[in-house]
Structure 1
Amino acid sequence: MWVCALWEARAPALLRRRRLLPARGLRPPAAASFSASAEGSRVRALVYGHHGHPTKVVELKNLELAAVGGSDVHVKMLAAPINPSDINMIQGNYGLLPPLPAVGGNEGVGQVVAVGSNVTGVKPGDWVIPATAGLGTWRTEAVFSEEALISVPSNIPLQSAATLGVNPCTAYRMLKDFEQLQPGDSVIQNASNSGVGQAVIQIAAALGLRTINVVRDRPDLQKLTDRLKKLGAEQVVTEEELRTHEMKNVFKDMPQPRLALNGVGGKSSTELLRHLAPGGTMVTYGGMAKQPVIASVSQLIFKDLKLRGFWLSQWKKDHSPGPAAAAPLSDFLHPPTDQFKELILTLCDLIHRGQLTAPACSEVPLQDYQCALEASMQPFLSAKQILNM
């Protein structure tokens, strides 16, 4: 481990600046955990001071752990994944950007070490996950506001807890909020090997829904197909097969889907629309191809298809009562709502039943973060990178 001399020279001013960086008078709940404390203990954290390529701008730093205030929770981080949203945030092209310098990571699981005198919702020993984005989970320890955390059962697998707060929540809400699907109905999705895609397969199966899962062709296609079918996928097809006339045979044994989930964009999303039932909905939650969604006029007119978007941060904001929902940085500020807590409990129940498992993961020690960042940006990623603290 090493400490950049320039960072050490500038740290006091930068940290003071961040503490005073308001959003209309409000402060991100995680700010205290990034503040200097003369008597605090040292923690290791992955910090970026400006936006750019993750392997070039992210550095392993020593930070001071803030003192625990009355409404604060001291958390020892256990594990934190690297998500596409984390990469986009570091690059500076995400819809939500924390003040700089920032600790990376929007997701993860930690264990409570100590709590302030006013904390009632968690106690030492509990497992907690972030309730809001931008907390900065890529660090060994942190002091967070109680309202920035949600407790989860400590008897679920560590990898499931670490990857619970983003992808499974996105999958569940998209399956529930856009079409009134019944057992036996079908759903078609691309990016089926992604964290969201794997969660969609499992949650859909638990709800009695049938899935058609589109993946990119690759050397280990059969291995991937077998793995997705083991999760509950009914059909696995390649992007090329999706464009063929033989796809009609798939719908001889199942109804045409009324819901399509798009995490790719470009030609892939156009093909999803082509297979939607009249009146169906395509929900876009990602754009890995970095190409626009193109819908033909005939599909919109003669099939009356609907194009929608989904972003979990916006969903949480929309379900947050009070004026904080209108603030530009409310994603950092609003406490977890009853709806989000209920969603987490629902997903934990699926985990306990064995109906929802973590995506394929590779655990990487925190000091090997460069390798983990590089691997997370490779094509045909077969495993989610999880930083082990």
Structure 2
Amino acid sequence: MFSARLYAGSLRSLRPAGTFLRHLSTTKVCLGRAVVYANNGDPSSVLSVVSYPPVPSTPPPNSINIKFILSPINPADINVIEGVYPSKPTKTDALTTQGLGSEGKPVFIGGNEGLAQVTAVGQGTANSLKVGDWVIITKQQAGTWMSERNILAQDVARVPQASKLQEDQAATLTVNPPTAYNMLHDFVRLKEGDWVIQNGANSAVGQAVIQIAAAEKINTINLVRSRDNIDQLKEQLTQLGATHVLTYDELADKSTRDKIKVWTGGKPIRLGLNCVGGKETTSMARFLGQDAHLVSYGAMSKQPLSLPTSLFIFKNLTAHGFWQSQWYKTKSAEDRDKLMEVLVGYISSGKLSTPDHEVLQIKSSQSDDEAASTIREIFKKLSEGRYGKKVLLRVD
């Protein structure tokens, strides 16, 4: 949450805003920018950009000031804006002094994942953060699509070995690579030479699964939608480390079962990863072996998950759901730091790369209306599936 000073904590307890306005009158004003929305709906319609007062240079105790470097736009962010995602942000009416984000006109601030740099440290911070450190936001739906803010120190984690990472690598460290790593390690004790099958293999998580599995010498069968450039996509995933890539149409072919038996040498597929749902997942599940585990972390088709009863009775299939946000809630800070160290090790050694991406910059020279138009157009393309690259947002 934010106050008129962009401080973490109770909005009302940090008022009155007039105190901050008097502070502004004696300093050079360099406004911040934020991507916001007043109501849930289609992102291409409801998103706006607002300017807000600068963060005071001295943070309150146990908090830090940060300047955002890059903030990813993930598929889940679209669902949050639409109001259909289980993790909900909180509105603020103390972002600005008038207009959207002011008292009586509260807004949500977009973004769940982000890389920032510490610009000031308040007294009493317990995690030894210092000015210049790179941090990632660990609090859910904290609001990362902005230029700067104040935040409780407990709601960030220092990026380990930051000097070994590029900005885009660190910015995408919080959601997709941890999801891939944890699904590969938390449900089945896989060994070198074991097999995993997954759908949505060209997604950011899917690509991370391919690379982490390849690094650990685990084989993957990867399912994707048929498309005009399917050969190019198959080659791209193979270069990342995919053992085999199939379309859903190819999976439905009766000869495929025999092919997979040859590929695996008759070894059972012990883990299936699902982000699609619907009939595609039903078909995939039929290829799982005895005592396998099916882990669902998304439902891109927006269709229910339907599994044959026979898989549970005769193959003893176990089905799970996985949500990385819940993992962060239930694990200790030490567990989180250990996971980050492992992932940074994969990245710095070249075993885990960032998905193809583009940086969308909201420039200081743009008016709020011009910036909002840019944002809405990108979200229109994203919602229609017409944007092939991951988008990383930089707000000046």
The TM-score, its normalising length taken from structure 1, stands at: 0.85
Distance 2:40 2:144 in 1: 18
Corresponding residue for residue 201 of structure 2 = 192
One-letter amino acid matched to 2:275: G
For residues 274-293 of structure 1, the aligned pairs below 5 Å read 274-293=286-305
Aligned partner (choices 136, 140, 147) of residue 147 of structure 2: 140
Deviation at 1:20, TM superposition (A): 4.6
Corresponding residue for residue 39 of structure 2 = 50
Corresponding residue for residue 271 of structure 2 = 259
Distance 2:179 2:41 in 1: 26
Aligned residue pairs total: 352
Structure 1: any 5+ residue segments left out of the alignment?
A: 1-10, 22-26, 321-336
Corresponding residue for residue 334 of structure 2 = 338
Distance 2:246 2:61 in 1: 54
Which deviates more from structure 2 when the two are superposed, residues 254-263 or residues 366-375? 366-375
One-letter amino acid matched to 2:198: Q
Q: Deviations over 1:144-194 (max 9, x none)?
A: 111111111143021111111001111110000001110100110001111
Aligned partner (choices 74, 81, 90) of residue 90 of structure 1: 81
One-letter amino acid matched to 1:50: N
Corresponding residue for residue 355 of structure 1 = 351
Corresponding residue for residue 102 of structure 2 = none
Q: Pick the structure with greater CA Rg.
A: 2
Aligned residues: CA RMSD? 2.4
Conserved? CA contact 1:109–1:127, under 8 Å: yes
Q: Are 1:304 and 2:310 counterparts?
A: no
Matched position secondary structure for 2:283: helix
Corresponding residue for residue 73 of structure 1 = 64
Conserved? CA contact 1:45–1:139, under 8 Å: yes
Matched position secondary structure for 1:300: helix
Corresponding residue for residue 379 of structure 1 = 385
Corresponding residue for residue 164 of structure 1 = 173
One-letter amino acid matched to 1:132: K
Deviation at 1:111, TM superposition (A): 1.3
Distance 2:213 2:143 in 1: 31
Deviation at 1:345, TM superposition (A): 1.1
One-letter amino acid matched to 2:73: I
Distance 1:195 1:180 in 2: 23
Corresponding residue for residue 149 of structure 1 = 156
Structure 1's 162 and 87: CA in aligned 2 closer, same or farther, altered over 3 A? same
Distance 1:370 1:349 in 2: 36
For residues 215-254 of structure 1, the aligned pairs below 5 Å read 215-248=224-257, 249-254=259-264
Distance 1:386 1:375 in 2: 15
Matched position secondary structure for 1:253: helix
Structure 1's 154 and 91: CA in aligned 2 closer, same or farther, altered over 3 A? farther
Which deviates more from structure 2 when the two are superposed, residues 369-378 or residues 55-64? 369-378
Distance 1:266 1:302 in 2: 22
Distance 1:299 1:226 in 2: 32
Aligned partner (choices 268, 282, 294) of residue 306 of structure 2: 294
Matched position secondary structure for 1:135: coil
Distance 1:98 1:147 in 2: 18
Distance 2:181 2:76 in 1: 18
Matched position secondary structure for 2:60: coil
Q: Deviations over 1:254-295 (max 9, x none)?
A: 233110000000011101210101110110000010011101
Conserved? CA contact 1:36–1:63, under 8 Å: no
Which deviates more from structure 2 when the two are superposed, residues 249-258 or residues 285-294? 249-258
Distance 1:374 1:365 in 2: 17
Conserved? CA contact 1:35–1:64, under 8 Å: no
Matched position secondary structure for 2:40: coil
Structure 1's 256 and 273: CA in aligned 2 closer, same or farther, altered over 3 A? same
Structure 2: any 5+ residue segments left out of the alignment?
A: 25-29, 92-106, 363-370
Matched position secondary structure for 1:50: coil
Q: Are 1:272 and 2:281 counterparts?
A: no
Distance 1:198 1:35 in 2: 50
Structure 1's 380 and 54: CA in aligned 2 closer, same or farther, altered over 3 A? closer
